[in-house]
Structure 1
Amino acid sequence: MSTSPAPRDTDTPLALLGGLSIREFLRDYWQQKPLLIRGAFADFETPLEADELAGLACEDGIEARLVEENGPDKAWQVSHGPFDEATFARLDAKDDSQWSLLVQAVDHYVPDVAALFEPFTFLPRWRLDDIMISYAPTGGSVGPHLDNYDVFLLQAQGQRHWQLGGMHGDDAEIIDGIDLRILKHFEVTPGEDWVLEPGDMLYVPPRLAHHGVSQSDDCMTISVGFRAPSADEVVTSYADYLGASLPESLRYRDQGMAPVANAGELDDASLERVRELLLSTLDNPTQLAQWFGRYMTQPKYLEQLAAREPALKTHELVEYLEDEGVLVRSLGSRFAFRHGENGTSTLFVDGDGILAPQPLAEALASDQRLTAVLLDYTTADLDRSAVVSLLTALINRGSLILECDLQDEEDDEE
């Protein structure tokens, strides 16, 4: 039994991409140059209001920043949440208030925001990072800046004036002392200067200078960002993963070496032996895949994954699913898979790798509705009881949720 989705149509023009096909966008724009898309989302309505965003910024555990261009202490002051009502009252009392509120990972808390990821799944799901939402009154901005990742900037309400500059390398001059990459010097590229209305969207590739300024008192912008680990993060993480599994007996060897001319010299032959040791341990496609799947599914905010209490038992899960129950992926969870042999896959979920039947791994890592059909996704080596145990473990750790539990939580909040 297979759950593989039908092949995606990559050649049909899409309003989401300004009339380009997926193939054309990836070939000509992705990670290369910006794209303005008028009416990317027709008749767009914001998935949450400004006061709801401010409410999130006041909660513990939610990453929120307040950027003030003329702060109480200095220009370009950044404050970190949680905030309180007094903070927003102070801002409202200022006549020349130029500020922006930034709230990260809103998709982890608001299902309607999380749903905005779906139109972007022409890109790998494991590349999706989070959705940040910013709010600013007229004149508010975070300055001309750079990002190290791809981002789609969707105007949710109000208007924002965007100006683009050129690409910048590591030598870009950045204002010191704040955790934003605000440029000391910004020059607008002729013709790349627009005001975006609700439903309009701007794609910005990594390292492209951009500057957005609110043109209304209700400006809200949704930033759909993508994970892009740096080389130092990749090397460090992969080395740690390998180091935990390499045997102590695997060491530098120089059997059959030639006599040395100078006992104090690090000669070429010695360096080549070290190089071969490194390459032989690093160049392992199987280990690389196992590490990368775990690395790219690590949740951004671990506290979002709440263990289920009381723990669900396997027979309770079977009864629930056979009674037309549905499982739901936690908003903060990440799923991916890599197919192996004999009908099995590694299911990567929230930083772990778990052996699973191929159709089960595909289903969990998709947007497919999760029903009792999951119990039939078995192999000769992974029978129904193994599948039930796997799903129960994912529920008890918080990666999956019973839909009825989710409904109970929503009812309690109301």
Structure 2
Amino acid sequence: MTYNSCQVFVTTIHIFYTATMAMPKKSTFASLQLLGGLSADKFCSDYWHKNPLLIRQAISNFTAPLTVEALFALAAREDLQSRLITAFKGKWSLKHGPFSSLPSVKKNNWTLLLQSVNLYEETCHELLQQFNFIERARLDDLMISYATDGGGVGPHFDSYDVFLLQAYGKRRWRISTQKDLSLEESLPLKILKNFRYTEEFVLEPGDMLYLPPHVAHEGVAIGECMTYSIGFRAPSHEQLLREFHLFMADVLEAEGQLSNAQAVASHDWTRLPEETINAVSALIARHTPSRTDIIEFLGCNLTEPKALIPFDEVDQHKRRRKKLSKQICVPRTTLILHSPGWFFINGTSWRVKGFDAKLLIRLAQEGWLSAALIAQASPQMQNQLQTWIEDGWLIQK
């Protein structure tokens, strides 16, 4: 990729991840209780990526859908990312799961973090649907933080937008407008060196705090508590470029080979030939990434399943092609996006048109398709839907 095309790619990605939300048409002007009575448009113009927002009773009478015992059971799973953070006797410690045992709930100053719980628990998956005023492509996951009295992860900052929903108990949040984000050295956690808070809030079940990226903050449990963190994607430019190069390496097609036909007699056999430089420069210029390349990369990249996520795949020996006579649904583990002419599911891309395209857009938006609609799809699409069912990417009900 040439320097200029790299710059174009980075600029495109930067706009995608950091610009004010291009909101869906539905409910953009209607006030949302989840946003404290603000419309989605008002929230995005005044707060998103700009200013913190405290929302009392964002979800009225909220009750945590998962018990403490259920969380501890999840922490024992090998296919779920979990971390244990302790600050016993003033010393920070970080351990990675799975955990067959945890400290006593009567012991203060420890925190359990469970990542991507929405992919394992249906109630948490359903909770995320309340945040559908923001495009699914930007959403990362729902993380649950359980803490005993005094537990937390220290003063820190995040590089992404996050909603912090109090699910159980109380937590004291302190936030700062400081620009100094230097970190303590020789610690297992990224803890701010000079945290000076300017505001303080105590959140109870149903309360929610929105924080833009790079806002210094600290949350400390007041007794046992659970906080649900709804986080959004913020990959670095370096990560995106690296992944884009890998993607292009897989899809690139270029026939022929570098020719030595332009070789000339040389008095310096250690010289890098100018003719070779020109030939390779021209070759790379002919393969500058297009907008189509970027669309396909983003669709595949943003629907790529997280590591370790299990799918209920049908055994190869039990696969039998049958008529799709039941409705099909999208399970919580499957990620779907679409763009004009494109459909993306779990890291794969598909060119679609006509009724099949409308069908898949409906599947992406509604999460299910009736048997009557499926019957109107092309034979090729019905066959592909069957394959996705067998792969565990879709389910029949």
Q: TM-score, normalised by structure 2?
A: 0.83
Match of 2:98, as an amino acid?
P
Match for 1:227 among 225, 233, 251? Answer: 233
Aligned to 1:75: 91
Query: Which stretches in structure 1 are left out of the alignment for 5+ residues?
Result: 1-5, 257-261, 341-345, 404-414
Task: Tell me the alpha carbon deviations over residues 159-207 of structure 1, each in whole angstroms, 9 at most, x when there is no partner.
Answer: 11001123658x73244442x422122111x2x2100111111111112
Aligned to 2:374: 375
Task: Tell me the alpha carbon deviations over residues 313-341 of structure 1, each in whole angstroms, 9 at most, x when there is no partner.
Answer: 332x423x1xxxx323222210011222x
Q: 1:305, 1:399 within 8 Å by CA — same for their partners in 2?
A: yes
Task: Tell me the alpha carbon deviations over residues 60-119 of structure 1, each in whole angstroms, 9 at most, x when there is no partner.
Answer: 221111100127xx821011111123x334x64x4xx20111111111111011001111
Cα–Cα, structure 1 residues 306 and 105, in superposed 2: closer, same or farther, change >3 Å?
A: same
Q: SS at 1:45's partner residue?
A: coil
Cα–Cα, structure 1 residues 44 and 273, in superposed 2: closer, same or farther, change >3 Å?
A: farther
Match for 2:74 among 56, 60, 71? Answer: 56
Q: 1:359, 1:377 within 8 Å by CA — same for their partners in 2?
A: no
Aligned to 2:347: 351
Cα–Cα, structure 1 residues 159 and 247, in superposed 2: closer, same or farther, change >3 Å?
A: same
Work out whether 1:401 is the aligned partner of 2:390. Answer: no
Match for 1:208 among 209, 215, 218? Answer: 215
Task: Tell me the alpha carbon deviations over residues 324-374 of structure 1, each in whole angstroms, 9 at most, x when there is no partner.
Answer: xx323222210011222xxxxx22111011234211221221234332134
Aligned to 1:386: 380
Aligned to 1:173: 183
CA drift of 1:133 comes to: 0.5
Rounded Cα–Cα distance in structure 1 between residues aligned with 2:236 and 2:318: 38
Match for 1:128 among 139, 149, 153? Answer: 139
Q: For 1:14-413, list aligned pairs within 5 A.
A: 14-70=32-88, 75-85=91-101, 87-89=102-104, 92=106, 94=107, 97-166=108-177, 172-178=182-188, 180-188=189-197, 190=198, 192-217=199-224, 219-249=225-255, 278=284, 280-309=286-315, 311-315=318-322, 317-319=323-325, 321=326, 326-340=327-341, 346-356=342-352, 357-378=356-377, 383=378, 385-403=379-397
The sequence identity of aligned pairs, in percent, is 34
Task: Tell me the alpha carbon deviations over residues 5-59 of structure 1, each in whole angstroms, 9 at most, x when there is no partner.
Answer: x940311222211221111111121112211111111111111111111111012
Q: SS at 2:140's partner residue?
A: strand
Q: 1:147, 1:181 within 8 Å by CA — same for their partners in 2?
A: no
Q: 1:313, 1:392 within 8 Å by CA — same for their partners in 2?
A: no
Q: 1:305, 1:330 within 8 Å by CA — same for their partners in 2?
A: no
Cα–Cα, structure 1 residues 98 and 291, in superposed 2: closer, same or farther, change >3 Å?
A: same
Rounded Cα–Cα distance in structure 1 between residues aligned with 2:336 and 2:59: 26
Aligned to 1:406: none
* Structure 1 range deviating more: 302-311 or 154-163: 302-311
Rounded Cα–Cα distance in structure 2 between residues aligned with 1:29 and 1:272: 50
Cα–Cα, structure 1 residues 137 and 278, in superposed 2: closer, same or farther, change >3 Å?
A: same
Rounded Cα–Cα distance in structure 2 between residues aligned with 1:263 and 1:364: 62
**Count of aligned residue pairs for this structure pair:** 370
Q: 2:178, 2:196 within 8 Å by CA — same for their partners in 1?
A: no
Cα–Cα, structure 1 residues 176 and 361, in superposed 2: closer, same or farther, change >3 Å?
A: farther
CA drift of 1:222 comes to: 0.4
Rounded Cα–Cα distance in structure 2 between residues aligned with 1:164 and 1:271: 54
Query: Which stretches in structure 2 are left out of the alignment for 5+ residues?
Result: 1-23, 263-267
Cα–Cα, structure 1 residues 350 and 328, in superposed 2: closer, same or farther, change >3 Å?
A: same
Cα–Cα, structure 1 residues 295 and 377, in superposed 2: closer, same or farther, change >3 Å?
A: farther
Task: Tell me the alpha carbon deviations over residues 123-179 of structure 1, each in whole angstroms, 9 at most, x when there is no partner.
Answer: 11122111110111111111111222211100001111001123658x73244442x
Rounded Cα–Cα distance in structure 1 between residues aligned with 2:255 and 2:229: 49
Rounded Cα–Cα distance in structure 2 between residues aligned with 1:293 and 1:155: 32
